[in-house]
Amino acid sequence: MIQVSIVEDNDAIRNGLAMLINATADMECISTYTDCETCIGDLPDHGPDVILMDIGLPGMSGIEGVREIKKDFPDIHILMLTVYEENDKIFDALCAGATGYLVKKTPAEQLIQAIQDVVHGGSPMSSHIARKVVAFFQKQPPKAMEEHHLSSREMDILTSLANGNSYKLIADDLTISIDTVRFHIRNIYKKLQVNSQTEAISKAFRDGLIK
């Protein structure tokens, strides 16, 4: 029996969801809340397996609620159920610890399916949400190493620099002279359009040149 709680301030939606869940075999809605705060207060007494969580709530937002709940009850799966489709909300919710993310227009049967999915190790997402999540990975390397056309030697030096080595140490590591290290670093600066180690390292990290 999957035990579900609901956090949703709209009465009609909340009650509708509760009825839907109670009408499903092997699933029951053990509690409903109109805000995160009271939900969190109840958790020590009766913790559900899954929480359906709205985002736009009075008081603490659903995303903040996820963070709080996950901190103390990491085993509870939280399924965001919201009208928001902005990237910020999606990623914030997932980073906060939400296991899935559904838009409110999701049909009843898919919602039930999602709840089952989440307890069986899945992460249900509405299709357009999933697409945005996937898109996140694809726009990651806007400027890769090739864009900055750093030579392999320059990458050596940059990497060593990022590890906190001084010019002297880098020179010893690569068995070249310290002046050569200077030479390469000058070129790196030109290519990255910076003029200090700190800037170079920052840029390298942000552009994914270094991990």
What are the residues binding a copy of itself (CB under 8 A)? Answer: 91, 94-95, 97-100, 117, 120-125, 127-128, 130-131, 133-134, 137-138, 140-141, 161-164, 166, 194, 196-199, 201-202, 205, 210
Question: Between residue 140 and residue 199, which ones bind DNA under the rule CB under 7 A?
Answer: 149, 151-154, 166-168, 174, 176-177, 179-180, 182-186, 189, 195-197
Q: Residue count at the site for DNA (CB under 7 A)?
A: 22
- Nearer residue to DNA within complex by CB, 106 or 197: 197
Backbone angles phi, psi at 61, to 5 degrees: -70, 160
Backbone angles phi, psi at 49, to 5 degrees: -85, -35
Q: How far is the CB of 184 from DNA (least distance, A)?
A: 6
Q: Which helix (H) or strand (E) holds 6?
A: strand 2-7
Taking the least distance from each CB to DNA, the nearer of 149 and 211 is 149
Place of tokens 């940059």: 158
Question: Residue 130 is encoded by which pair of tokens?
Answer: 């999933």
Residues 6+ apart with CB under 8 A from 53: 7, 8, 36, 62, 65, 66, 78, 79, 80, 81, 82, 98
Q: Which parts of this chain interact with DNA (CB under 7 A)?
A: 149, 151-154, 166-168, 174, 176-177, 179-180, 182-186, 189, 195-197
